[in-house]
Amino acid sequence: MKIAVIGNPNVGKSSVLNRITGSKLFVSNYPGTSVEKNQSTMKIGGQTLNIFDTPGIYSLNSYGDEANVSRSLLAEEDIDLIIDIIDATNLERNLLLTYELLELGKPILILLNQIDRARSMGIKIDCKEMARNLESPVLAFSATTGEGLAELLQLLEKGINHKRFKLEDVNYQPTVDGSGNEKMPVLVLGAEAACSGNCSNCLTFSKDCLSSADLLRAEKARNLARLVSNKMDARQKIRLEKIQTFIDRPVVGTILLLVFAYLAFNVLLQFIQISEGPINILLAPINKLIEDIISSALPKSLITTILTKAVPEGLIIPFTIIMPAMLMVSFLMAMLEDTGLLPRYTVALERLGSFFGVSGQAIIPLSLGFGCRTPAIVATRIMPTVAQRFIVITLLSIVIPCAATLGILASVISAFHASLLVVVLTMITALIVLASGLSRIMPVENEFIYELPPLRVPLASNVWSKIKIRFSGFFTEVLPLLLAMSIAIRALMESGALEIFRGMEEFTRFLFGIPAEAFVAVLITIFQRYLAPLVLMSLTLTPREATIAISMIALSLPCLPMMVLTVREMGLKSLLKILAMGLLTSFTVGIVLNLILPK
Amino acid sequence: MNIAQFEIGQKLKVLKIDGAERRLFEMGIMPGAELQLIARHPFKGPLVIKVGNADVALGRSIANKVKVEAV
């Protein structure tokens, strides 16, 4: 039996599914990510159930990937049962989707989730009356307490006794919506229709379509909600609600959120620093062992040299620097989601983000980037659209310096008495130019509507399973790729390909005002950031030359792990675009600084 | 009138929506709906309103499409 689980965002679909299947497989989807079908199989009383999770949607006819996924799931897979999960505290709005689902003619089981929360808010719902009205079973449920689970499993085992929901015989008149288009509603999914209100098949569908069928469903939803729910006197606000009211205040709340963010950020940095030492110590003998094995197994040659250096490099960096950061960032992001704080950050930072041409949420991954940029790339999944993700990842790759980079920059700047002021100003200018330039090319949706779910105390087990899921991909996908790239880069460097640039003294001096040696150093650190101190320190540079070289290094390409992750998250084409922009930025910075800095 | 022009805590009723904004409709913001203004962020920042039992944050430009009156 194939079951599709559908419902509004924030109703607790994933928690319900984890309750039903007794597993911890389901995790909330972020909008804008490659939304995949999430499915699980379980056996009940001899029957095998294939359960498909879907991203939260407000309507089947919404504009966007999430609704597309749900619609194609219903069309392509032969779904036997739809489980519609409703937030019992927001009946009227949730019923809009319910009425759309009912019109599909498939058996539906309705779960009134968060019934415990509704009860504590003084809301009482007549499930029997609701079931009678909708001609489908309605179960009061709570994923947190487990209420309703037994009845649900019983129902699933027995099979749903389904009476086909009768479409009302109504004469729909053509109506004119705000844009002047005529719309005549036809309700059944799959029926051919042009401008019929059947949005799923409409070719001119846009986000502004609203037909009288929608308005009719909204009216039915309103009437049913009024009929079956009853609000008694609201009881005393619990502590969490008082905190929420406080945080939602514009000025005070924003300050509080920023303080939290600052503290969380410090925890991240500390964690990275503390864990680096022990991991290094643990890995050192293993690295030596690998080197010895390779050199004794293979004959002395170029390839051996490449491998003996690249393999430890490909392993040390991910483990010492990236992995602790990944772990901590996964933890922080899981907490942000599960507490309900994430959308509040979006709201608080919206103005700041729009200054840079990005959504308020962009501030979060950009800030994380100052700690370590590889997990920051993973954090960009919270961005609402792919275009915005790309902008933020580009900014992370080219402009934002991670803690390691900051350390390197600081030591090199002081060693050569380069101008800190110029470097910092250059970076800020580059950030503003890139951000506004990119958002002009890829216009950002600046009208937003966000539901703010109630604040809640996160479940430790949920947070842990999110961390595990987000983290496991690291070992299976990132590590092998990283190793391969380390070997490739090492091969490039050992082959002496970069040596050609040594002879281009006049060229580099003319363009960038730096000696060819320094330019080679810039190129090397572009590929291997961690070599910067070694390479640059061996040169003699004037402060002016050093300032230019350092600025070119600071604004260039992402490190290898970032490149790997960018390919994984956005594809190779996106990485190539970013690399091109990075090189362009770096060279432009060098040329411009050479022109404007006094000799 | 626009939502932003009211006092915090004011209960409002939607008169009409300028243009057809489906996302407003999906959130339950449509003619006849009851709202309450919860917060207004400075510098023309987002508005937070209560629709039913849910809190919804609206960007200023989309919020200004919702015409309301006091209840």
pLDDT of residue B20: 67
Provide, as residue numbers in chain B, all residues whose Cβ is less than 8 Å from the Cβ of A178. 17-20
Is B39's CB within 8 Å of A250's CB? Answer: yes
Q: Which residue has the tokens 């489980």?
A: A83
Q: CB under 8 Å to A119, separation ≥6 — which residues?
A: none
In whole numbers, what is the pLDDT of chain A averaged over residues? 79
A393 has a pLDDT exceeding 90: yes
| Chain A residues in contact with B57 (beta carbon < 8 A) | 343, 346-347, 448-452
Those residues whose C-beta lies under 8 Å from the C-beta of residue A366, and which sit 6 or more positions away, are A376, A392, A395, A396, A400
Beta bridge partners of A7: A85
Q: At B55, list the tokens.
A: 């809190």
Higher pLDDT, A530 or A364: A364
**Residue type for A565, please?**
L
Q: Is the pLDDT of residue A350 over 90?
A: no
H or E element that contains A344: helix A341-348
pLDDT digits (tens, 9 = 90+) for A295-308: 777 777 767 777 77
Long-range CB contacts for residues A155-164, cutoff 8 Å, separation at least 24:
A155/A109, A156/A44, A156/A47, A156/A49, A157/A44, A157/A45, A157/A47, A160/A81, A160/A107, A160/A109, A162/A107, A162/A136, A163/A135, A164/A105
> CB-based contact (8 Å) between A589 and chain B?
no
Predicted pLDDT of residue A167: 40
In angstroms, what separates the C-alpha of B48 from chain A's closest C-alpha?
8
pLDDT of amino acid A192? 33
- Residue A251, chain B, CB below 8 Å: the answer is yes
For residues A213 and A185, is the Cβ–Cβ distance under 8 A? yes
Percent of chain A predicted with pLDDT > 90:
15
In chain A, residues with a C-beta closer than 8 Å to the C-beta of B20 are 177-179, 208-210
Kindly indicate the confidence band of residue A418, based on its pLDDT and cuts at 50, 70 and 90.
Answer: confident
Residue A142 DSSP one-character state: -
Whether the per-residue pLDDT at A143 is higher than 90: the answer is no
Query: What pLDDT does residue A162 have?
Result: 52
Tokens, residue A277: 């030492």
The answer to whether residue A195 neighbours chain B at the CB level (below 8 Å) is no
Q: Which residue has the higher pLDDT, A234 or A229?
A: A229
A173-182, A396-405, A462-471, A487-496 — which is least confidently predicted?
Answer: A173-182
Chain B within 8 Å of A9 (Cβ-Cβ)? no
Instruction: Using CB atoms, pick whichever of B22, B56, B61 lies closest to residue A207.
Output: B22
Residue A112 β-bridge partners:
A86, A140
Residue type, A26: F
Q: Summarize pLDDT for A527-584 with one digit per residue, the tens.
A: 666 666 667 777 888 888 888 888 988 888 888 888 888 988 888 999 999 999 998 9
Q: Do A210 and B45 touch (CB under 8 A)?
A: no
Q: Measure CB to CB from residue B59 to each of A58, A59, A448 and give the nearest one.
A: A448
H/E stretch holding B10: none
Report the predicted TM-score, pTM, of the whole model to 2 decimal places: 0.79
With H, G, I as helix, E, B as strand and everything else as coil, classify residue A199.
Answer: helix
Strands annotated E in chain B: 11-17, 34-40, 47-51, 54-58, 66-70
State the CB neighbour count (10 A cutoff) for residue A65: 18
pLDDT tens digit string along A492-503?
Answer: 777 776 677 777
Residue A169: its H or E element: none
A147-200 per-position pLDDT tens digit? 889 888 888 877 655 544 444 433 333 344 444 444 434 333 333 333 444 554
Q: Give pLDDT, residue A96.
A: 94
Cβ separation B45–A250 shorter than 8 A: yes
DSSP at A76:
H
For A295-313, letters b (16+ CB in 10 Å) and e give eeeeeeeeebbbbbbbbbb
Closest CA to A31 of A61, A66, A62: A66
Q: Around Cβ A485, how many Cβ atoms within 10 Å?
A: 18
Which pairs with CB-CB distance under 8 Å and at least 24 residues apart come from A346-349?
A346/A448, A346/A450, A346/B57, A347/A450, A347/A452, A347/B41, A347/B45, A347/B46, A347/B48, A347/B57, A348/A250, A348/A253, A348/A254, A348/A257, A348/A258, A348/B41
Using alpha carbons, select from A34, A30, A11, A193 the residue that is nearest to residue A89. Answer: A11
Per CB-CB distance under 8 Å, the chain B contacts of A452 are 48, 54-57
The span from the CA of A45 to the CA of A153, in Å, is 10
Nearest to A209 among B22, B40, B51 (CB): B22
Q: Between B20, B42, B46, which is nearest A178 by CB?
A: B20
User: A424 φ, ψ to 5°?
Assistant: -65, -45
Which stretches of A417-542 are DSSP H helices?
Answer: 420-441, 460-473, 479-494, 505-512, 516-527, 532-537
pLDDT tens readout for residues A70-129:
888 888 878 889 999 999 999 999 999 999 998 888 889 999 999 988 888 888 999 999
ipTM of the complex: 0.94
Listed by number, the residues of chain A in 50-79 with a beta carbon closer than 8 Å to a beta carbon of chain B are 58-59, 61-63
The closest of A496, A394, A499 to A438, measured between CA atoms, is A394
Q: How far is A75 from chain B (nearest CA, A)?
A: 22
pLDDT at residue A472 tops 80: no
Nearest to B28 among A93, A123, A207 (CB): A93
Q: State the average pLDDT over residues A505-532.
A: 77
pLDDT (tens digit, 9 = 90+) per residue, A371-388? 888 888 888 888 877 888
Largest interatomic CA distance in chain B: 29
Q: Is B20 on the interface with A (CB under 8 A)?
A: yes
> Quick check: B9 contacting A, CB < 8 Å?
no
Does residue A345 have a pLDDT over 80?
yes
Of B27, B30, B62, the CB nearest to A447: B62
Count CB-CB contacts under 10 A for residue A460: 9
Do residues A349 and A250 make contact, with C-beta atoms less than 8 angstroms apart? no
Question: pLDDT higher for A359 or B70?
Answer: B70
Nearest CA to A456 out of A146, A253, A243, A236 is that of A243
- Band (pLDDT 50/70/90 cuts) for residue A444 is low
Between A435 and A30, the more confident residue is A435
**Within an 8 Å CB–CB cutoff, is residue B45 touching chain A?**
yes
Each residue of A21-78: pLDDT tens digit?
776 666 655 543 444 457 778 877 777 888 888 888 899 888 777 788 888 888 887 8
